[in-house]
Every structure is written in C-alpha cells, then in structure tokens.
Amino acid sequence: MSDVATAAPLNPASATPENIVEVRNISKFYGSVHALDKINLSFPKGQMTTLLGPSGCGKTTLLKIIAGLLEPSDGEVLINGKVVNGPGPERAFVFQDFALLPWATVLRNVAFGMELAKVPKAEREDKARHYINEVGLSGFEDKYPHELSGGMRQRVGLARAMVVKADVLLMDEPFSAVDEQNRRKFQEDLLHLLAAENKTVIFVTHSIEEAVYVSDQIVLLSPRPGQIHSIIRPEISRDTSPDDIRRDKKYLDAVENIWTDLRKYLD
C-alpha cells in the first residue's frame, strides 16, 4: 500500500493483468426499479477501492453482486479472470449489521467460516485466536456478541472475514453502526491491519471523508439508475500519521471535489 503515491492513473493498460476483480456490464432490476445500469469496473489487486454515492445509487447492491449474494440481471463478475456465480473462498464479506451469531462466542463467530469448511476445531480456534488478537479483542474470546459494543462487534466481523484468508475483502458500510470516535480509531486500525496482509478491499460507504481517508481508488456512483459518475484516485501518501493525512491538502481537496460532484444528486 506504500506504493500508492507512485502508482499513477496514467497506466491503466499495464495494470489490467493485476485486476483481481472485474465487473462487466452489470445491470440489476428489482421488478421495475432500475438499480444498476451497465456497470464496468476494475479492482486492482492489493488496493482499496471505495464505492461511494448517495443512497439509492446501488452501491450495496453492486457489492453483493460481486460477493455472489445477489444475482445480476445482466452482466458478469470475474475473479482472477474467471467468471463466478455465487460466493467463493477468494472473497469474504463484512456486514453492515455485523451478522454475528448471537448464540455463539466471539471465538466461534470468528472461526465460523472454518467451521462451515469443517476445519478441525483446535486448528480453527488457533487461527481465530490469532485474528482476535490482531483486531484487539484478546480476552474477549468467550464473550457473546450482546456483551460487546458496536465497534467491538464489527471487529469480530472483520476478524471473521480476515481469518479465512480470502484475497478480496468486501465491506458493506462496516462502520455505519459504529460511533464517530470509535469509527476513526477503527479506520486507522483497518488500514494498519490491511497494510500487513496485502488484501484487495472493496468498501461501500456514504461518508466522503471515510472514502478519501481509506481509499486508493474511489468510484463515485450516481443514483436512479446506479451508474458510474467518475473514478477518483486521491493519491494521498499514507506514510504520515492519521492526523497529518486528515490535514493534508490533497485529502481536503478530494473531499471538497467529491462533495461538489455529489451535492447535485441531493434532493
């Protein structure tokens, strides 16, 4: 992730083989509602791409189509150059409402993907413990979700997605149910964690600041029907501290530009 500043947007051709996820001509109708209209997108390997837009622009729909949780009405999704139908081990999803099993401990929730894959109990719990520690929840292994705060629950959701070693992490407004202070801390932790793992992340949010802060690439979607408005690469160096990034002129300019673009879609 440190090479963001040098990865120029000028060479999309050379980046093509590195696109781990590709979306081709995706359209989606819910009955007569046209949710997505002929979306074509590439997601470079190892980078964080944000789908940003006002409500009703189909960003979550697009993410769930990439995840294989929704069928597109038209078009196809390619992972590593192969067309996929339905979920697969190369993708892991982080849910907006956490989607934790209320009757399972943190440990079992984190290990849930491996439980489904019938990994032996001792092995999967070992791996789960590692990621519980990574997201800062060690000591909470035997707690149940209702005993945790919103931010901690989403850390469980994140650990569950990280532990299955999927190359692509799909995150659906992961911080929207987390309060503002925890949200900032969580964003910083997420970047830190991802830098070490070389994951490709597709991130849905409606927060402009969040998008600019975390993303290598921002896809702005316009609503009714959902179409790509523009693609922005903030080009912010992430070597500096989080506070410096939030004061960086490039960061502030990018936020301002996106806001100027998006405000015309507001009612």
Residues lying near other proteins in the complex (CB under 8 A) are found at: 64, 67-69, 86-89, 91-93, 95, 97, 99, 101-103, 112-113, 115-117, 133-140, 143-147, 152, 155, 164, 182, 185-186, 189, 192-193
Question: Shortest approach of other proteins to residue 262 CB, angstroms?
Answer: 27
Give the CA diameter of the chain: 54
Nearer Cβ to other proteins (114/228):
114
- DSSP class of residue 267 equals -
Q: If DSSP codes are grouped into helix, strand and coil, which group holds residue 212?
A: helix
Closest distance between other proteins and the C-beta of residue 63, in Å?
A: 11
Instruction: Rank residues 32 and 103 by Cβ distance to other proteins and give the closer one.
Output: 103
Rounded CA-CA distance 163/155 in Å is 12
Q: What's the closest the beta carbon of residue 102 comes to other proteins, in angstroms?
A: 6
What residues contact residue 228 under an 8 Å CB cut-off, 6+ apart? 39, 40, 41, 219, 220, 221, 222
To other proteins, the closest distance from the beta carbon of 253 in angstroms equals 29
CA torsion sign for 214, 225, 71, 76 is negative
Nearest approach in angstroms of CB 89 to other proteins is 6
Compute the least distance from the CB of residue 87 to other proteins, in Å.
5
Q: Which helix (H) or strand (E) holds 204?
A: strand 200-205
Work out whether strand 19-30 and strand 217-222 pair parallel, antiparallel, or are unpaired. unpaired
Taking the least distance from each CB to other proteins, the nearer of 135 and 220 is 135
Confirm if 107 and 132 have CB atoms less than 8 A apart.
yes
Query: Which one, 69 or 231, has the nearer CB to other proteins?
Result: 69
Determine if the peptide bond prior to 225 is cis (ω within 30°): yes
Residue number, 14 or 103, with CB nearest to other proteins: 103
- How is residue 169 written in tokens? 């992490």
User: Please, which residue, 107 or 228, has the CB nearer to other proteins?
Assistant: 107
